[in-house]
Amino acid sequence: MNASKLLVVAAAMSMSATAFAAGAHGGGHGASSGEPGKASEAGRTITVEMYDNYYEPETIEVKPGETVRFVVENKGNLVHEFNIGTPAMHENHQKEMKMMVEHGVIQGGKLNKQMMDMDMGNGHSMKHDDPNSVLLEPGQSQELVWKFTGKGSIEFACNVPGHYQAGMYGDVNFK
């Protein structure tokens, strides 16, 4: 990538990161769907398998205040995300994910880790390290611990461009 194109990419990513930091995601990633949980407080573990383009299970039931340890496994052939949030948060996050594809961070079944780690200035990067989300290449697995603090419309989704629209989302139902 030549220097002028790299500067354009850096500027675009910086603007997106700045918008995120300013609250463009309706209170931040996952803010209205709960908060990061402590593994020691998790009452149960749920394994979530990601395929091209659906999840198993498709629905998750939780109690208000419950902390759940998720073991997320990418069984598909493409990069997928498991992200807990409100429908509005997912809609906003899809814009960032689109930019990650446009700039070569997400490349079908691979992540360009060098681009993810690139310093965009002011402490911003495209690391995709929000506590309510994991982004995995095929064959990878990762844990996420989340405390569901209230009720409302919450879902888990893959916000990689086109995946949500293809049906890669599921509901979080409160008991």
Q: Which pTM value belongs to this model?
A: 0.80
Residue pLDDT, tens place only, 107-163: 999 999 888 876 655 665 677 888 999 999 999 999 999 999 987 889 999 999 999
User: Residue 2 burial by CB count (10 A; 0-12/13-18/19+): exposed, middle or buried?
Assistant: exposed
Q: Residue 103's pLDDT is what?
A: 81
Each residue of 150-166: pLDDT tens digit?
878 899 999 999 999 99
pLDDT band at 2 (very low <50, low <70, confident <90, very high): very low
Residue 79 pLDDT: 98
Domain boundaries of the chain, sorted by first residue: 3-174
Rg (Cα) of the chain, in Å, rounded?
16
Cβ within 8 Å of residue 31, ≥6 positions away: 25, 89
The arrangement of secondary structure in 3-174, i.e. its CATH architecture, is Sandwich (2.60)
**Distance, CA of 7 to CA of 48 (rounded, Å):** 38
Residues 6+ away with beta carbon under 8 Å from 174: 61, 62, 63, 64, 148, 151
Strands 169-174 and 59-62: parallel
